[in-house]
Amino acid sequence: MQQQSEAAAAPSSAWAAGKGSALMSLRDVYKQFPSGRQTVRAVDGVSLDVLQGETLGLVGESGCGKSTLGRVVTQLQPATAGSIFFEGKDLAALHGEDLRQMRRRVQMIFQDPYGSLNPRMTVGNIIGEPLRNFGLAHGKERDRQVQEIMRVCGLNPNFNNRYPHEFSGGQRQRIGIARSLILRPNFIVADEPISALDVSIQAQIINLLEQLQDDFNLTYLFIAHDLSVVRHLSDRVAVMYLGVIVEVANSLELYDNPLHPYTTALLQSIPVPDPVIEKDRTPIILSGEIPSPINPPSACRFHTRCPIAQPICSEVRPELLDYGNGHLAACHFAGKLQGSLAEKVAEESVAEIRAAIVADEPGGVDGATPVTA
Ligand SMILES: Nc1ncnc2c1ncn2[C@@H]1O[C@H](COP(=O)(O)OP(=O)(O)OP(=O)(O)O)[C@@H](O)[C@H]1O
Ligand code: SF4
Ligand SMILES: [Mg+2]
């Protein structure tokens, strides 16, 4: 019998701090929005662990539900259903001071630093506002803490009386980061924190986030559109498609040995810096638009665009199964459409793979067989 992924089991209530334990756990989480008489299924049954001290990259095409998942995790929006555990405690059971402490320790960094900063407030007041809201520091002590975090984030502490429009895009993102850090959180959801910035500034912000992770012992859920951004930054990567997680793996493993056809297609859409390899590559082009989350495809969400889809794919929802070492994939034919970032999966081989699996049973290929109980 196939063993279901760790992600589906309830987390232990005896949470112990330490690298490797799940700091944040989601179990069968849903988030739906009304849209007229219909329902947008933005997050549609996600189970996922974010481990203490790690950076978990979350990638997927626009509209697949990444930001919604981030807002649900940080409690900016309530989940429609499912359970979220922080440090082993069910958030639904937290009240009063426990809930306040959880809100203090879980923060979000946004994509658009300008849009998330109040233009009428000085930078010092913007960064210090959470301290005031939580009643943690006043007057000179608040100023001191604000200037200290400005310095840590690479901002001139003497500029605390200036306004957001007086800063560059990169500096404004540093202001957003300083504000999210002032309460000394241990978990941060960074929602595309560099995608609005010039390429030359992006590396500086990435370096800052990495430095802060070491200095403040932070755990990140790092959201990005594309796998190239999260590659070097993430310890593990989760791939999302139309409200569901389709693959999770150690970062290197995911790039070298993707098991889900969607991940393979995403990887192959990234240009390879080596011009010789790039010239020979024939990326799998994802056919068709991403379907609407109002009426998503049945069973495997990806079957309308998958180059190797079979009848079972539209009939039976594939579970997220563990293929070894925590490499999870939700595909009836996991690992059949191989091809790492540097390799191509040519059209002829896709046709061959399709022909081979028509006569085959669903399940993984050699090296991609679910861990059995
Ligand atoms: N408040 C809302 N009301 C209605 N629909 C919403 C709301 N927020 C998000 N959605 C819908 O939920 C789906 C997921 O949106 P979300 O912003 O989470 O995607 P995303 O993966 O972050 O996309 P992007 O990469 O473009 O930021 C989309 O179809 C979006 O239109
Ligand atoms: S379950 Fe079928 S349609 Fe879905 S990704 Fe796997 S092969 Fe493609
Ligand atoms: Mg988003």
Task: Encode pLDDT of 148-202 as tens digits.
Answer: 999 999 999 999 999 999 999 999 999 999 999 999 999 999 999 998 888 889 9
**Residue where one domain finishes, among candidates 240, 263, 282:** 240
Mean pLDDT of 47-66: 96
The per-residue pLDDT for range 216-270, each reduced to its tens digit, is 999 999 999 878 888 889 999 999 999 999 999 999 999 999 999 999 988 887 7
Mean pLDDT of 339-358: 69
**Shared domain check, 288 and 345:** yes
The per-residue pLDDT for range 294-312, each reduced to its tens digit, is 999 999 999 999 989 999 9
> Who's near 93: CB < 8 A, 6+ residues apart?
none
Mean pLDDT of 117-141: 95
Residue 363 domain-assigned (yes or no): no
- Protein residue whose Cα sits closest to atom 2 of ligand 1: 33
Q: Percent of the chain beyond pLDDT 90?
A: 70
How far apart CA 312 and CA 164 sit, in angstroms, is 54
Q: Identify the helix (H) or strand (E) that includes residue 66.
A: helix 66-73
CB of 301 shorter than 6 A to ligand 2: no
More reliable by pLDDT, 70 or 267? 70
Parallel/antiparallel/unpaired status of strands 219-224 and 187-191: parallel
Residues at CB less than 6 angstroms from ligand 1: 33, 35, 40, 42, 60, 62-68, 225, 293
pLDDT of residue 2: 40
Q: What are phi and psi of 42, to 5 degrees?
A: -70, -40
Distance 195 CA to ligand 3 centre (A): 11
Distance 71 CA to ligand 3 centre (A): 10
**Shared domain check, 210 and 342:** no
pLDDT of residue 367: 52
**Shared domain check, 308 and 226:** no
- Domain containing residue 130: CATH number: 3.40.50.300
Distance 95 CA to ligand 3 centre (A): 29
More reliable by pLDDT, 216 or 342? 216
Q: Which residue range is the domain that position 311 belongs to?
A: 252-358
Q: Residue 281: pLDDT above 70?
A: no
**DSSP three-state, residue 262:** helix
The count of structural domains within the chain is 2
pLDDT band at 6; cut points 50, 70, 90: very low
pLDDT of residue 228: 82
Residue 82 domain-assigned (yes or no): yes
Q: What are phi and psi of 146, to 5 degrees?
A: -65, -45
pLDDT of residue 7: 46
Q: Which ligand neighbours the alpha carbon of 242 most closely?
A: 1
pLDDT of residue 13: 54
Distance 366 CA to ligand 3 centre (A): 36
pLDDT of residue 11: 66
**Nearest by Cα to 26 from 2, 5, 50, 42:** 50
**Shared domain check, 195 and 306:** no
> What Rg, from alpha-carbon coordinates, does the chain have?
22
pLDDT band at 108; cut points 50, 70, 90: very high
**Shared domain check, 236 and 114:** yes
Q: Residue 212: pLDDT above 90?
A: yes
**Shared domain check, 163 and 36:** yes
**Nearest by Cα to 40 from 4, 67, 76, 11:** 67
CB of 303 shorter than 6 A to ligand 2: yes
Q: Which ligand neighbours the alpha carbon of 76 most closely?
A: 1
The CA distances from residue 249 to 41, 49, 74, 347, in Å, are 25, 12, 23, 26
Angle, vertex CA 14, rays to CA 9 and CA 15, nearest 5? 85
Residue 303 domain-assigned (yes or no): yes
